[in-house]
Structure 1
Amino acid sequence: MNVIKKMSRVKDAYIYQRENRYFAQFPEEVRKLGEEELISLGAKNTKIVGLGVSFEADLDTLYGIVYRTRLSSRILAPLVRFRCPTADDLYEKSKKIRWTDFMSEYDTFAIFANVSKNDEIRHSKFASYKLKDAICDRFRDETGGIRPDVNPDSPDVWFNLHIYEELATVSLDLGCGSLHRRGYRKETVEAPMQETVAAAIIKMSGWDGTKKLYDPMCGSGTLLSEALMKYSDIPSAYLKKQFGFEYLPDFEKNNWYEIKKHYQDAIKPLPFALIEGSDVLRKAVHATKTNLELLPGGDKVKVNILDIRKTGCIENSVIVCNPPYGIRLGEEKDMPAFYKSFGEILKERCRGCEAYIYFGEPKYIRDFGVKGEWSAILKNGGLEGRLVKFRL
């Protein structure tokens, strides 16, 4: 009876339960692709809004979306929304939330905030401090002084605070942190590509496994790993140990375990050398192999130490690549010649192929010497790059 009463009370309280609506954050340049991905994963009534895409889903579908999305950086369950023209309003109204519905005084938590166009609350960090104080003070009142600790690096629970003008929305982060952190990158080289950016490149290439995919400058193997996960339908959060939706008051543990098992059982094997990579640096090849070992089928990805200038003829393949660039490696004076040489190699030795090259520094596109079929802006780590398709 107490459980029934609690659930009835909770369902009257939180936005996500009344509306079955959630919010997925995507970089602006991939929001349309992100919306298409959500629909393919079972989301309903999607709508591009602000920083991402709003969508409807039942809880079982929601678990699958968080587990499988490759393009979203965060998925949020909105809890409450209220007016907060002042910092005192933010504190007082946040303190009224029953935080014990989401965690105990022995859990840890963190807050990430985004604030815009509020006359008094002008800084995201200040807003997160006010929300943190409200959470801790509410716990102190209810527990006789015991409060949960803040852990900004690896908390049990992540909360999101979004303030636009005088309207605040408090949400629970269902992925328990940024979803771009897949968990396979144990070793790395200089300036690795963000996983969600690599996933977007594989998606935009249209690669479906009917041709070989090759990365001639694989770095730490992010593009290869994302290609493997796409082909084999490995959930993007396959290696993730904890999810924020487990802290929802209506979380269904048995349903989640069944859903997780269903998608893990559906992973399909990768044919040997369908995905292939190489790099001139031994440490890069070692990092790639180490990272791939954590994924099912990673041992079927062929990775070699090879200078791009010694690459033989490649036919009927899809080439994806994130070449080095001066701003990240300190070799800017040599970059125009490098890109010119790389373009000549592709023209001479990769006829009949499609190449999708990510230019972290777009000015080098003009040095490539090959006319692109199309290009698209993609940001990686806050830097604006450009993905260009070449038909060779």
Structure 2
Amino acid sequence: MQIEYVVPCHFGLEAVLKREIRDLGYEISQVEDGRVSFYGDELALCRANLFLRSAERVLLKAGEFSAGTFEELFQGTKQIPWEQYIPENGKFWVAKAASVKSRLFSPSDIQSIMKKAMVERMKEHYHKNWFPEDGSEYPVRVFIKKDVVTVGIDTTGESLHKRGYRPQSGKAPISETLAAALILLTPWKRDRILVDPFCGSGTFVIEAAMMAADIAPGMNREFTAENWGNLIPKKHWYEASTEAQDRIRQDVTADIQGYDIDAEVIRTARKNAVNAGVDHLIHFQQRAVRDLRHPKPYGFIITNPPYGERLEEKETLPQIYQDFGKSFRGLKDWSAYMITSYEDTERWFGRKADKNRKIYNGMIKTYFYQFMGPKPPRRKKEEQGV
């Protein structure tokens, strides 16, 4: 059975998610700001949750309709065949409502009216006036854009950035999904050197190591839809989980390094890498960015340097970026990629970026600066078996 799924992601990174979904073998139905939709079967729900690195969550699309008034919203919601998705004892509510350029814009009103419409539909189908809601959870998410209402049932639960390996975060952490998407935007591959000189809690290097070993990002967590016995047979979850286990490359080697000036932060990063099962692929070290060195050419820096969000940090930023730029110039034929909201990045780094891309990290407007080095000679690539 073909089902349409809606997958939200960070604004500006839709192309990365689209490629990931295609690589899983599914057909894209639509790409919009901050989300990609695709068609798949019931197993696709399990595989998307387990394997997608840049997705925030996976929604099962229940319906879509136009509504410019609350009455139209009520009737449109009531038309959706909720009984096909939610059993008699299911717990259901509108967990989140978002509205852009639409006449209906109050999230709390949208949520309560839709819940009432769902109850009315369920009453008519189940011939009951009251529902215990003591069974599995079916949280609903709704997005209204230009009066078009898209309704999805959340199959994920806690956002997919919650991989399960990072109970503690350093200062100004970058989310796992954003880190993974940014790595996927670069040409880095597991046979190339990767260094994060501001590694913090280790997110970039851990995500890279998981990619190198082909470890599915959702392996060590649970999903809301695992309890949907009425919709998704358990065998599909076992099948997706077995595929994830089979794909892990136990024999892989990588040159991935995480540095930070703070010893406590490095200890946390090491613990997180152990939790993710990739500590053997990453070398962590307490080291300042001015001491960044590497003898080999054609490496990659992918990092999230300090932004100076706190006033007292602002004064130290020029020196940090100056030191970073100086170290980078000492690395032969390397490429550097950094995400930061610091407006004087290029000035103090000492070089204009070859490309930059605007990306929202939460509510902070940031730029992903890309300083590209040359590609390694083809002959060397062939020797490495690429």
**TM bin (shorter chain):** 0.7 to 0.9
Question: Could you say if the C-alpha distance between residues 125 and 278 of structure 1 is closer, same or farther in structure 2, counting changes exceeding 3 Å?
Answer: same
Counterpart amino acid of residue 341 in structure 1: D
CA 270–328 in structure 1, closer or farther in 2 if over 3 Å, else same: farther
User: Which deviations, in whole Å up to 9, do the C-alpha atoms of 1:12-56 show, x marking residues without a partner?
Assistant: xxxxx6x53222223331112221221111111443235422222
Is the CA contact (8 Å cut-off) linking 1:31 and 1:53 kept in structure 2?
yes
2:228 corresponds to which residue? 247
Choose the corresponding residue for 2:313, options 331, 343, 346. 331
Closer/same/farther in 2, CA of residues 83 and 212 from structure 1, 3 Å limit: closer
Equivalent runs, 1:1-392 vs 2, <5 Å: 20-91=3-74, 93-95=76-78, 99=82, 101-103=85-87, 105=89, 107=91, 109=93, 111-119=95-103, 121-135=104-118, 145-148=130-133, 156-244=137-225, 246-247=227-228, 249-269=230-250, 271=252, 274-316=255-297, 317-328=299-310, 330-348=312-330, 350-391=331-372
Closer, same or farther: CA 243–233 of 1 in aligned 2, 3 Å: farther
Larger mean CA deviation between 197-206 and 52-61 belongs to: 52-61
Instruction: Report SS of the residue matched to 1:196.
Output: helix
1:156, distance to aligned residue in structure 2 (A): 3.4
**Equivalent pair of 2:226/2:234 in contact (CA under 8 Å):** no
C-alpha RMSD of matched pairs (Å): 2.8
Deviation readout 1:277-306 (Å, 9 max, x if unpaired): 111112211221121111123343221222
Q: Deviations over 1:129-180 (max 9, x none)?
A: 2223444566688555444389xxxx93321112334443321122224222
Tell me, yes or no, if the aligned pair for 1:379 and 1:385 is still in contact at 8 Å. Answer: yes
Counterpart amino acid of residue 41 in structure 2? D
CA deviation string 1:315-363 (max 9, x = no partner): 2222211111212573112211221121112212x22322212223243
Quote the Cα distance in structure 2 between the aligned partners of 1:165 and 1:358: 31
Are the counterparts in 1 of residues 359 and 366 from structure 2 also a CA contact under 8 Å?
yes
Query: After TM superposition, what 4+ stretches of structure 1 lie above 6 angstroms from structure 2?
Result: 137-141
Mapped contact 2:322–2:349 kept (Cα < 8 A) = yes
Q: Is the 8 A contact 1:105 1:139 kept in 2?
A: no
User: Given residue 320 of structure 1, which amino acid in structure 2 is its aligned partner?
Assistant: I
CA distance in 2, matches of 1:270, 1:384: 40
- Please report the TM-score for the alignment, with normalisation by the length of structure 2: 0.85
**Greater alpha carbon shift after TM alignment, 71-80 vs 325-334:** 325-334
Displacement of 1:274 after TM fit? 1.9
**Structure 1 CA distance, aligned partners of 2:232 and 2:210?**
27
Which one is further off, 332-341 or 47-56?
47-56
Aligned equivalents of 2:157, 2:189: Cα separation in 1: 30
CA contact (8 A) 1:191 1:328 kept: no
Q: 5+ unaligned residues in a row in structure 1: which ranges?
A: 1-16
Q: Deviations over 1:213-242 (max 9, x none)?
A: 111110011101110121111112112212
Q: Aligned AA for 2:151? A: V
- SS state of the match for residue 7, structure 2? strand
TM-score of the aligned structures, taking structure 1 as reference length: 0.84
- Contact 1:221 / 1:292 at 8 angstroms: preserved in 2? yes
Q: Look up the equivalent residue of 2:133 and give its one-letter code.
A: P
CA distance in 1 between partners of 2:213 and 2:338 (Å): 23
Identity over aligned pairs, percent = 25
Paired with 1:145 and 1:94, the residues of 2 have a C-alpha distance of 19
Q: Give the Cα separation in 1 of the matches to 2:3 and 2:350.
A: 51
What SS does the corresponding residue of 2:315 show, helix, strand or coil? helix
In structure 2, the CA distance between the partners of 1:242 and 1:377, relative to structure 1 (3 Å rule), is same
Q: Are residues 76 and 47 of structure 1, via their aligned partners in 2, closer, same or farther at CA, if it must alter by over 3 Å? A: same
- By how many angstroms is 1:267 displaced? 0.6
Report the CA distance between 1:105 and its aligned residue.
3.4
SS in structure 2 at match of 1:384: strand
- Change in CA separation of 1:106 and 1:63 when aligned onto 2, cut-off 3 Å: closer
SS at match of 1:326: coil
Asked if the contact 2:6–2:152 (Cα under 8 Å) also holds between the matched residues in 1, the reply is no
Q: Is the 8 A contact 1:190 1:328 kept in 2?
A: no
